A and B are shown apart, each in its own frame.
Chain A
Amino acid sequence: MAEQVNILELRDIDKSFGGTHALRSVTVTIRPGEVHAIVGENGAGKSTLMKILCGAYRPDHGTIVLNRAPVQISGPQQAIGLGIGIVHQTFTLVPELSVAENIFLGRLPRTPSGLVDWNRLYQDADAVLQRLELDLDVRRPVRLLGAAGRQVTEIARAVSLDAKILILDEPTAVLGQNEVEKLFSVIRGLKAQGVTILYISHRLAEIFTIADRATVLKDGQFVGTYDIDGSIDRTFLVGKMVGREWIDYFPERTRDHGDERLRVEGLTREPIFEDITFSLKAGEIVGLAGLVGSGRTKLCKALFGAAPYDRGAIFVDGQQIRVRSPREALDSGIAYLSEDRHHEGVVLALPISMNITLPVLDRFAPRGLLNLSRESQFVDDLMTRVDVRSRGRGQTVGTLSGGNQQKVALAKWLATQAQVFLLDEPTVGIDIGAKAEIYQLVAALAREGAACLVVSSDIPEILSLSTRILVMRKGRITGELDPESATEEDVLHLAV
């Protein structure tokens, strides 16, 4: 190993924000042409490290060595100049412009008279996409592309800037399974061309598919860099990430189920979902598996009155109900936890207390005026029960970690008297510790007689948490599985 020259070394990097130490003397070495994964729980320092690399933050201490020469990266422009490209988790494209324009944004080729040279633009863009072995119409506006197309456009932009080191921040967070495969082949192609890839991801399964080495960060500190060569497994990496051995953190499955809580008959919304029929019993946790875009979220929203349906019937506790708004669904005892926490789940600018009591405000205002002390008492009790870690109920939700934000979103629904919980990707983007707590909360809900429908794209999660699994494909339920006997392959077989 010693003779191998590192393309990039981060030595003793320190970074603090106010009182918090985000990184403590972190040292990472990257070899040329490798796919190097950076893993760790939320808040472990992955994002901070990447932002230092692309010039968004300056380290308080430590050096960055690029090709054996120490460099200062003072801004994004300079990072690009040094051959470091980043593809952010959230896209930074202009939706109305074409793929080609987005790739060459800010440096469109010009004709001698100073106007945009459209022919050359399209040729150049085609050339970049060919290098990535991708088939995409460069004249198409980005707004018409799916998540995968947008991601590829971002990657193409970085590649066209001649990036030698490409940072991918949670690149699969927005992709479906087949799109992930496509992304992996792009990554392999880039690797073959000598591009070094820094790959940040929560999803460990992917790291074992694509990465050569993985560096684990924990609480801002370097834990270790490991070769992904068969000598280590998922359990090993998780143990390093959480600092203890992997334990089975899924709750016991319940077996006795009560009466039917929710029945859905022939629910249809052309062309998103069709003829959906299923039921949920008290105490059941039914996993709803399927690819992104298979209609699961729209189905949940229709059941919650937040999206329309054409025909079909919904029954709660045997009574047929009509849901034309979330208010009506709530009054019928249905709650919906959105997959999109920031846009639909919580109000980031408001304190925890105001978020939690939003659906039940009328309860605290019997004569029109809110009883704030009664509300505070209620919120404190609920926060203790779901264990929101905060400075108190007055802290704004936007300043909480992802896991605690999700607990606030869940607490909001626990505050209602709902009997049917539609939980859409309840653990997306939160760390393992918080996930375990969410699982326990869902299990406790079921034990108390609620019926839960859990939508998840994380198949191991569905297999371990559910008492029954439904699989959707292209808007239809394609099968029901027993999680005790089903495998990931069985689920995928029904889903694709």
Chain B
Amino acid sequence: MSDPRPIEVVTGNDGRSVRAPELRPRRNHLASRLGHAVSFLGPNVGVVVGFILIVFVGTIVSDVFLSWTNIRNVFLQSAMLGVVALGSTFVILTGGIDLSVGSLLSLCSVVAAMMFANGDGYPLPIVILATLALGSLVGAINGFLIVWRQVAPFIVTLAMMGIALGAALTIADGKPIGGIEGTYAWIGAGRLFNQIPVPVVIMAVSFVIGAIMLRYTPYGRAVYAIGGNEQAARLSGIPVNRVKILTYTFSGFCAALGAIIFSARVTVGDPWAGRGLELDAIAAVVIGGTSLFGGIGSVWGTFLGTLIIIIVNNLLNLMNVSPYSQGIAKGLIILIAIALYRRRSE
């Protein structure tokens, strides 16, 4: 309800400037920074509660759940899905969707394995750079097609999903390509300080960089603004098309990064590596509290969303539930999450 508005008291009436104030010298209040983070860009309360709940349940149903080995295992299993879901978070924040990441991951894993060729092919740094470049390029093509004729992201990335899978199967002749060893295999199996698996380090660094991009760069702001109201963003001088292309490029880059993690861990490139992964990534994003309409959400939500999905699988394994039935649990969790978030937002 509005207050009675005293008409007599108005601003700008006394000759004071109403224009943009001069920039003040830098002031670094920790409190104001924290306030900013908590009020907007942190993970939403629902996913934190959900995460705590699942950990609680895990502790009850299994006594090995909280063991260091199992925790490490959970994080290791989260790494590939995590980085892919990170890219999807950006896309979904702009109000888009990327269905091609699973197939693109498959394609990248095959290409990486072929280029590496038992260590007889290209040197590892070249293999990694080329794989990341391939993922980024395919993502950029997605973005370009989406902004060029304003085609729905769903359609463009659905088509790309088919193309990437077909390319992967063609190149690999439908079979896994083995022979990943040496330093490449260390990326999958090695441990930093003898404790922390390298894929987990890659995931952690990716999320920190992703969080910085969203929170501290004009690009990140543009992502939120476009998802919140594309037309208003455009009229505020945001280069909407450029930001969208960049976002799909990043999503492709993340899929390629996921491919490197995958191939290093299982020591093969597999044209079926990313089967269904795009939906798991979207699930992780949505469970993490990011709105499918865009504009609302955070990478930390996605991080917890990824962990929730992996922990549920982990628990079902620990409880000897058949892998065939595990999809049911995942589906139910998505439904519960959506129902809870909808209720909260009303």
- Report the minimal beta-carbon distance from B29 to chain A, rounded to whole angstroms: 6
- Report the minimal beta-carbon distance from B40 to chain A, rounded to whole angstroms: 6
In the complex, the answer to whether B18 meets A385 with C-beta atoms within 8 Å is: yes
Known: A338-B235, A347-B295, A401-B2. A437 touches B20 (CB 8 A): no
Bound together, the chains give a CA A239 to CA B92 distance in angstroms of 49
Residue in A359, A372, A378 whose beta carbon sits within 8 Å of that of B36 in the complex: A372
- Seen from chain A, the residues whose Cβ lies within 8 Å of a Cβ on chain B are 20-22, 41-45, 218-220, 242-244, 247, 249, 251, 304, 306, 325-327, 329-330, 336, 338, 343-351, 354, 357-363, 365, 368-374, 376-378, 381-382, 385-387, 389, 394, 401, 403, 412, 414-417, 431-434, 436-437, 440-441, 443-445, 447-448
Bound together, the chains give a CA A387 to CA B13 distance in angstroms of 12
Which residues on the A side are within 8 Å of B6 (C-beta)? 433
Bound together, the chains give a CA A446 to CA B3 distance in angstroms of 29
In the complex, the answer to whether A365 meets B18 with C-beta atoms within 8 Å is: no
Nearest chain A residue, comparing its CB with the CB of B213:
A369
Bound together, the chains give a CA A360 to CA B236 distance in angstroms of 9
User: Across chains A and B, which 5 residue pairs bring their CB atoms closest together, nearest first?
Assistant: A433-B5, A444-B12, A347-B228, A43-B2, A361-B218
In the complex, the answer to whether A431 meets B2 with C-beta atoms within 8 Å is: yes
In the complex, the answer to whether A42 meets B2 with C-beta atoms within 8 Å is: yes
Which residues on the A side are within 8 Å of B8 (C-beta)? 247
Residue in A336, A370, A371, A386 whose beta carbon sits within 8 Å of that of B221 in the complex: A370
Contact bitstring B220-246, A, C-beta under 8 A = 1, else 0: 011011011101111111110000000
Bound together, the chains give a CA A372 to CA B8 distance in angstroms of 35
Which residues on the A side are within 8 Å of B296 (C-beta)? 349
**22 A-B pairs, CB-CB below 8 angstroms?**
A41-B5, A44-B2, A242-B4, A249-B7, A325-B237, A330-B237, A336-B235, A347-B229, A349-B228, A350-B224, A371-B26, A377-B24, A377-B27, A385-B18, A387-B11, A394-B40, A431-B2, A432-B7, A436-B7, A444-B13, A445-B18, A448-B19
Bound together, the chains give a CA A423 to CA B216 distance in angstroms of 31
Q: B69 at the A/B interface (Cβ < 8 Å)?
A: no
In the complex, the answer to whether B235 meets A304 with C-beta atoms within 8 Å is: yes
- Report the minimal beta-carbon distance from B9 to chain A, rounded to whole angstroms: 9
Bound together, the chains give a CA A20 to CA B3 distance in angstroms of 12
- Report the minimal beta-carbon distance from A355 to chain B, rounded to whole angstroms: 8
In the complex, the answer to whether B1 meets A354 with C-beta atoms within 8 Å is: no
- Report the minimal beta-carbon distance from B195 to chain A, rounded to whole angstroms: 32
Residue in B3, B5, B20, B225 whose beta carbon sits within 8 Å of that of A358 in the complex: B225
Which residues on the B side are within 8 Å of A346 (C-beta)? 229, 232
- Report the minimal beta-carbon distance from B94 to chain A, rounded to whole angstroms: 12
What count of chain B residues pass the 8 Å CB interface test? 55
In the complex, the answer to whether B33 meets A372 with C-beta atoms within 8 Å is: yes
Known: A41-B2, A376-B36. A247 touches B7 (CB 8 A): yes
Bound together, the chains give a CA A341 to CA B215 distance in angstroms of 26
Which residues on the B side are within 8 Å of A218 (C-beta)? 4
- Report the minimal beta-carbon distance from B34 to chain A, rounded to whole angstroms: 11
- Seen from chain B, the residues whose Cβ lies within 8 Å of a Cβ on chain A are 1-8, 10-13, 15-21, 23-24, 26-29, 32-33, 35-36, 39-40, 212, 215-218, 221-222, 224-225, 227-229, 231-239, 291, 295-296
Nearest chain A residue, comparing its CB with the CB of B35:
A394
- Report the minimal beta-carbon distance from B237 to chain A, rounded to whole angstroms: 4
Bound together, the chains give a CA A385 to CA B14 distance in angstroms of 11
Which residues on the B side are within 8 Å of A306 (C-beta)? 234-235
Which residues on the A side are within 8 Å of B27 (C-beta)? 373-374, 377
Residue in A242, A347, A417, A440 whose beta carbon sits within 8 Å of that of B12 in the complex: A440
Bound together, the chains give a CA A382 to CA B227 distance in angstroms of 25
Which residues on the A side are within 8 Å of B4 (C-beta)? 218-219, 242-243, 433
In the complex, the answer to whether B29 meets A251 with C-beta atoms within 8 Å is: no
Which residues on the B side are within 8 Å of A369 (C-beta)? 212, 216-217
In the complex, the answer to whether A345 meets B232 with C-beta atoms within 8 Å is: yes
Excluding A358-B237, A444-B11, 14 further A-B contacts by CB distance (< 8 Å) are A219-B2, A304-B235, A347-B224, A349-B296, A358-B233, A359-B236, A369-B217, A370-B218, A373-B32, A378-B20, A381-B21, A385-B12, A414-B20, A444-B18
In the complex, the answer to whether A437 meets B11 with C-beta atoms within 8 Å is: yes
In the complex, the answer to whether B24 meets A374 with C-beta atoms within 8 Å is: yes
Bound together, the chains give a CA A21 to CA B2 distance in angstroms of 11
Bound together, the chains give a CA A247 to CA B8 distance in angstroms of 9
- Report the minimal beta-carbon distance from A25 to chain B, rounded to whole angstroms: 15
Which residues on the B side are within 8 Å of A448 (C-beta)? 17-19
Which residues on the A side are within 8 Å of B1 (C-beta)? 20-22, 43, 45, 219-220
Bound together, the chains give a CA A371 to CA B224 distance in angstroms of 17
Residue in A242, A327, A386 whose beta carbon sits within 8 Å of that of B237 in the complex: A327
In the complex, the answer to whether A347 meets B237 with C-beta atoms within 8 Å is: no
Bound together, the chains give a CA A403 to CA B234 distance in angstroms of 23
Known: A20-B1, A434-B5. A348 touches B10 (CB 8 A): no
Nearest chain B residue, comparing its CB with the CB of A434:
B5
Bound together, the chains give a CA A119 to CA B32 distance in angstroms of 68
Which residues on the B side are within 8 Å of A22 (C-beta)? 1
In the complex, the answer to whether A443 meets B12 with C-beta atoms within 8 Å is: yes
Residue in A41, A378, A416 whose beta carbon sits within 8 Å of that of B23 in the complex: A378
Bound together, the chains give a CA A373 to CA B28 distance in angstroms of 6
In the complex, the answer to whether A348 meets B13 with C-beta atoms within 8 Å is: no
Which residues on the B side are within 8 Å of A351 (C-beta)? 39-40
Which residues on the B side are within 8 Å of A350 (C-beta)? 224-225, 228, 295
Residue in B5, B29, B225 whose beta carbon sits within 8 Å of that of A373 in the complex: B29
Bound together, the chains give a CA A21 to CA B23 distance in angstroms of 41
In the complex, the answer to whether A394 meets B12 with C-beta atoms within 8 Å is: no
Nearest chain B residue, comparing its CB with the CB of A362:
B218
- Report the minimal beta-carbon distance from B145 to chain A, rounded to whole angstroms: 21
Nearest chain A residue, comparing its CB with the CB of B224:
A350
Residue in B10, B13, B236 whose beta carbon sits within 8 Å of that of A326 in the complex: B236
In the complex, the answer to whether B217 meets A326 with C-beta atoms within 8 Å is: no
In the complex, the answer to whether B229 meets A382 with C-beta atoms within 8 Å is: no
